[in-house]
Amino acid sequence: MAFALFMVVLALFVAIAYKIRMLTLGGAFSSWGIGVVVCAAFGYRGLSLLLLFFISSSLLSKWGKEKKKKLRTLSVESKGRNAGQVFANGGAAFLAGAGFLFFSHPFWLALFIASLAEAAADTWASEVGVLSKGEPYHILRRTRVERGISGAVSALGLTAAALGSLLISVTGALLFFEGKWAFYVFLITFLAGFLGNILDTIIGGTVQLGFRCPVCGAEVEVHTHCGVPTEQIKGWSSVNNNTVNFISSTLAGVAAGVMMFWVL
């Protein structure tokens, strides 16, 4: 009975998110599917953590939107998150829920919390970091670059990443654990989430597909810019931003799960 009620709440939430253009239709169905598995595995607490990630990240995407539209390096999505973007950030949580249903070990719970912590860290860093007044520092090229370029960091972005990971890891630890175990889980998932975001930055600056606009010269992640096709300048054709996000969140989650074995 409780599960059915949660499914109704989830369906209403997804419908509202689609209505206010936080999600595309494909994104709405993907979100609902991930939510069903997460709720079946981790109950209302898991669903609450998933919704906390989605709501906080979606609200930040709206913050400073007009300023973000003016950045040459960004392509602002006006219709909401699509299915690929949803799975890129929530796919690891889906796998954690599926794994927990077959084998209810804390490994999967740590994977679930840490993967969302990393996804929050990455999203918060991206959405807030581009609003930094100064140019970010590219950690691989060792030079200042235009805001919005993969592989670059700023003090504001790193702070936002830490806060995003902190929010999810603290909430997850308090929802699922008590006493010293809550502290251990918080520490493990927070570090995994934040360091996973650093890994995301490194992968994004190396093998992620990148292009340059022949008209304005901006480095972008889209195939067309200024109304003309862009030229590939780096990365592998199979590795886009969604791929990087999924890999980073999954690796952060697995690392936290392995640490749970050590703690236990």
What pLDDT band is residue 220 in, cutting at 50, 70 and 90? confident
Report the share of the chain in percent with pLDDT over 90. 56
Say yes or no to pLDDT of 88 above 90: yes
By the 10 Å C-beta count (0-12 exposed, 13-18 middle, 19+ buried), 123 is classed as buried
User: Which range among 23-27, 74-78, 162-166 shows the weakest confidence by mean pLDDT?
Assistant: 74-78
Parent domain of 10: 2-263
The pLDDT value recorded for residue 70 is 62
Distance CA 209, CA 221 (A): 7
Q: What is the pLDDT of residues 45-64, one digit of tens each?
A: 999 999 999 999 988 887 76
What pLDDT band is residue 68 in, cutting at 50, 70 and 90? low
Name residue 127's amino acid: E
What is the number of alpha carbons within 13 Å of residue 245 lying toward its C-beta? Answer: 22
Distance CA 47, CA 54 (A): 11
The pLDDT value recorded for residue 202 is 93
By the 10 Å C-beta count (0-12 exposed, 13-18 middle, 19+ buried), 63 is classed as exposed
Closest CA to 90 of 125, 61, 49, 151: 49
Number of domains in the chain: 1
Mean pLDDT of 18-23: 89
Say yes or no to pLDDT of 150 above 60: yes
